[in-house]
Structure 1
Amino acid sequence: MNDQAVPILMYHSVATAPNDATRALSVAPEAFVEQMAQLADLGFTPVTTADLARSWRRGGPLPERPVLITFDDGYEGVHGHALPVLAKHGFAATLFVSTGWIRGAHDTGGGLDTMLDWDQVRELAAAGVEIGGHSHTHPEMDQLADDPLRFELLRCAEIITGELGTRPVSFAYPYGYSSRRVRRAVRETGYRQSLAVGNALARRRQGPYALQRVTVRRSTGADEFERLVQGRAIARNFARDRALTKGYAVVRRARQVRRKAVLSRV
C-alpha cells in the first residue's frame, strides 16, 4: 500500500497589515510569493484536498512530489494576494470557508479580520480553487453537543452548495480539534475527507478524516519553509506547539467532564 508522505500546508490570512487577532498566522504577501516560487523550484506539484484523498482512496497515482496548499477561514487576502500567485504558477489549492464569517447574506459577524465576500469565493472557485467547509461559526467542534454539531456541519454545506452550486466534499476542523464523534458526523454530513492540524506530514494510514497539516506562519522563513515541505525537523520546529496542545487538551477534557456532569443533573 502506498504510504507516501505528503506535506499539506495550512495558511490562514495573506496580508500586508493584519490585525492583532490574525497576525501570527498571517503570511506577508512577499513571503507567499517566495514560498510558491520555492515549491516550483523544488519540483513540487500542488493538488487539491479532493485530488489527494481520491487518489489514496482508489489507489491512483500522485505526482512525484505532491503538496497541498490550503487556506482556512476565508480571509480577503486569499483572493487579493494569493490567487494571482497561484495563477502565475498554475497551482491548485483548497480554501476552507467558515460560512458565517464570509461577508454577505449569511454573515454572523464573527470574522477576525477582513473576510472574503461570496463573489470573491465564486471567483476563486472559477479559477480552480477547491472550496471546502470549515463549519458555520468556527466553534471548537468536539465541545458541541450533537444537535449544534450537526447544525454547524449542515449549515456550512448548505450555504456553500447554495452559493456555488456544488456541494463541498472536503472539510477542515476549526482549530484542528476533532474526536471520533465529530469525524463520524463529518462523514455522515457527506464530506469525503477532512483535515486536522497535527504539524506532521499527511499519510494514507491516517485515514481520510484525520489527515495532518503543517502550519505556515508569519515567522516562517525561507529555510524553515523548505525544511517543512521536505519533512525535515518538523518535530523540533513544533515542539512547543505540541506541548501547549497537550496541556490545553487536559483543560478541554476537564470541560467535557464538567459539562456531562451538569447535563446528568438536569
Structure 2
Amino acid sequence: MRAFRYAVLWASICCLFVGLWLEVGAVRGELHHGVHRRELVQKKTPLLSEGMLPKPVPGAAKQFAAVLVWHDIVPKTKQVWFDTTLSTFRRQLELIHRGGFHVITLRQLYDHLTKGTPLPPKPIALTFDDNNQGIYYYAFPLLRRYGYPATLFVHTGYVGVTTDKRHNTWDMLRTMVQSGLIDVQSLTQSHPENILLLSDKQIVKELVNSRRSIELHLGIPVYAFVYPCDKHDLRVAEDVYRTGYEIAFTEDRGNACASPNLYLVHRYAAILCFDQALSDVAHAWH
C-alpha cells in the first residue's frame, strides 16, 4: 500500500513538471508567433574581433584617398534633403576636374588597401547609393563627358520599382555598365532601414540574394558592399566578411586608406562634406 502511494505521488510530481514545461513552451511560442510578436535580434558571440577583420596593408595610410557618395541627382527641386541638384553636381565635377584630382575605381582602391598598389596623386572615388533614376538621367551623362568612373550600390529587390523614388531598371544598369565607366555592387536585397535588427540568417540572405541578382542580370563580379542607412556594427561586418564580400563601406568620413579594416572603409557624404573631402585630399598631397 505504501509503495502504491509513493507511485501515485511520483506520478503527480512528474505531471506537474510536464505541465510547467508545456506552458513555458507555449509562452515562448507566443513570443515568436503570437500576439506580442516583436522583431528579435539573434544574439551571437562574435567569432572575430574588430582587430581580426582584414586590415589595409602596412603603409597604405601613407596615401590619402577620399570616397564620395551621392544618393540622387535631381534636375531642380529636391525631394529629400540628401538629393543633389544637377547644377550642384555639375559644379562638383568641374571642381574635381580643375583641381587636378584623379578619379579612381573602387577596385584601384581595393588593390591599394590589400596589395599596396600605388594610387595616382589626389585620388577620389565616386559612388552612388540607392539606384535612383536621377543617376541614369543626370549623373551618367556628365560622368561620360568627363570620363569619370563610378560605382552604384544597388538594392536588388527594388530594381525597376517606383517607391518615393523611381529606381533604375536592369536595362538601365546594363547600359551604364556596358559604357565601361560604371560598376554595380551590393546594397542588400531589400534595403532594411536597420540591418542591426536582423538575425544573422536574414543578413546572409540579403547579402547572398543581392549578389546573385547582380551577377545574374549584369554578369559582373560582386565584391563590395555598403551598409544601408549607414547602420553597422561588428556582428554585421562579420556577416559581410563571412559571406565572401571583400570590402564594405560606411559613411564615416575620413581617409579611406586609413580605415580601421576592409569592412569599415570611410566615405564622405557629398551632400554634407564635398568641399571638405577635396580640401583633405589636396592638403594631404600638397
TM-score by length of 1: 0.78
**Residue 59 to residue 87, structure 1, CA distance change in 2 (3 Å):** same
Query: CA offsets, 1:35-73, max 9 Å, x none?
Result: 001001111111122220122200111011110110001
Structure 2 residue aligned with 1:174: 228
Matched, 1:38 2:38: no
Counterpart pick for 1:2 among 60, 84, 92? 60
**Superposition RMSD in Å:** 1.7
Structure 2 residue aligned with 1:87: 144
Query: How many Å separate the matches in 1 of 2:184 and 2:258?
Result: 22
Contact 2:259–2:266 (8 Å) recurs in 1: no
Matched, 1:123 2:175: yes
Instruction: Quote how far apart the aligned CAs of 1:137 are.
Output: 0.8
Structure 1: tracts of 5 or more residues without a match: 233-266
The one-letter code matched in structure 2 to 1:94 is T
Query: CA offsets, 1:82-134, max 9 Å, x none?
Result: 1111111111111100111211xxx5x6x430111110111111122111100
Percent identity reads: 25
> Which structure has the greater CA radius of gyration?
2
Query: How many Å separate the matches in 1 of 2:112 and 2:266?
Result: 16
The one-letter code matched in structure 1 to 2:196 is D
Query: What are the equivalent positions in structure 2 for 1:173-192 lying under 5 Å apart?
Result: 173-192=227-246
Counterpart pick for 2:276 among 217, 227, 231? 227
Query: How many Å separate the matches in 1 of 2:98 and 2:117?
Result: 25
Matched, 1:132 2:190: no
Partner SS state of residue 222, structure 2: coil
Contact 1:50–1:169 (8 Å) recurs in 2: no
Matched, 1:200 2:258: no
Matched, 1:14 2:73: yes
Query: What are the equivalent positions in structure 2 for 1:65-84 lying under 5 Å apart?
Result: 65-84=122-141
Contact 2:73–2:138 (8 Å) recurs in 1: yes
Query: CA offsets, 1:160-198, max 9 Å, x none?
Result: 011011231111110111111211211222211110011
Contact 2:73–2:134 (8 Å) recurs in 1: yes
Contact 1:138–1:174 (8 Å) recurs in 2: yes
Structure 1 residue aligned with 2:19: none
The one-letter code matched in structure 2 to 1:73 is D
Matched, 1:156 2:184: no
Counterpart pick for 2:106 among 41, 49, 74? 49
